[in-house]
A and B are shown apart, each in its own frame.
Chain A
Amino acid sequence: MSDVKPRVRIPKSAKKGEVVEIKSLIEHKMETGQRKGKDGNKIPRKIINRFECKFNGGLVFASDWHPAVSANPYLAFHFRAEESGEFEFKWIEDGGAEYTKKAKITVS
């Protein structure tokens, strides 16, 4: 699926103890399963149903989504920076496909 593009914006650096905002967006139709196609049949549901944010391997934030989340799901949340490291962001689609993105932060 080339039309699914995950994007994340985080600050490159932070002071120890600082709470930073992480903004994420993934280009995805979020097909609800409620819409009908031209042939009158319902278009099967296909949404991103879970988002996870890991930092240095440990889960620090997650979110479960239902069809009521808008297309191209946007999510902003926070993280308290205590040490430098790497984030791994993961979006999981109905059917099990996964989209991931990594980003580093330097904490001083």
Chain B
Amino acid sequence: MTETQLTLSRRQALKGVSAFALTLVAAGLLAPGAHADAAAVDAAIKKLVKGTPEDGKIKLDLPQIAENGNTVPVAFEVDSPMSKDDYVKTVHLFAEGNPSPEVASFHFTPQSGMARASTRMRMAGTQNVVVVAEMSNGKVYMAKQQVKVTIGGCGG
């Protein structure tokens, strides 16, 4: 008898858990879902940068898995001598899965010494982070990496 009661209560508990999970899913579906995507990032890049991005030159330092989407550490370094005639002018940071694709732009000068910066960003969920670098000679480079996010950082 005791055995049955135990089983029942466990079943009830499980039911409760799954109902709760369903509520979460429903809430997720009902939440305003206007998020950027790869195309929106491309459009944002076109708006800010002249020229077609090439691969290379950029080293990204991102976590593969971020537990908290509210503050994900992001760092990048662009390979450049940072001299008066050859330096990195601007680096743009984009997120494909946030409500808007732009995150930040960093404006360097030859006095920066190196084109490296680190900051922390919000991520609504698992998505690609895109970094685009504009050089002083007009060349454009791009790098992309996915970050898995356990808890999104755009809570409403």
A residues near B (Cβ < 8 Å) are 19-20, 32, 34-36, 55, 59-71, 73-80, 82
Residues of B within 8 Å of A, CB-based: how many? 34
Return chain B residues, CB-CB under 8 Å to A77: 106, 112, 116-117
Q: Which of B100, B111, B118, B122 contacts A79, CB < 8 Å?
A: B111
Inter-chain contact B116/A32, CB cutoff 8 Å: no
Return chain B residues, CB-CB under 8 Å to A36: 156
Return chain A residues, CB-CB under 8 Å to B113: 19-20, 78-80
Q: A35-B155, A75-B119 are in contact. Are A66 and B112 (CB under 8 A)?
A: no
B residues near A (Cβ < 8 Å) are 70-72, 75, 82, 95, 98-100, 102-114, 116-123, 153-156
Which of A59, A63, A68 gathers the greatest number of chain B CB atoms within 10 Å? Answer: A68
Q: Which of B82, B102, B104, B123 contacts A63, CB < 8 Å?
A: B104
Return chain B residues, CB-CB under 8 Å to A61: 106-109, 111-112
Minimum CB distance partner of A62 in chain B: B107
Minimum CB distance partner of B109 in chain A: A60
Inter-chain contact A69/B103, CB cutoff 8 Å: yes
Inter-chain contact A35/B156, CB cutoff 8 Å: yes
| Known contacts A60-B111, A66-B103, then 14 further A-B pairs from the complex at CB < 8 Å, ordered by chain A residue | A19-B113, A19-B114, A34-B99, A59-B109, A61-B109, A63-B105, A66-B102, A67-B99, A68-B98, A70-B70, A70-B71, A70-B119, A76-B118, A80-B110
Inter-chain contact B114/A71, CB cutoff 8 Å: no
Q: Which of B100, B108, B120, B155 contacts A66, CB < 8 Å?
A: B100
Q: A34-B99, A35-B156 are in contact. Are A75 and B118 (CB under 8 A)?
A: yes
- Report, nearest first, the 5 A-B pairs whose CB atoms are least far apart: A80-B113, A19-B113, A70-B120, A68-B103, A70-B71
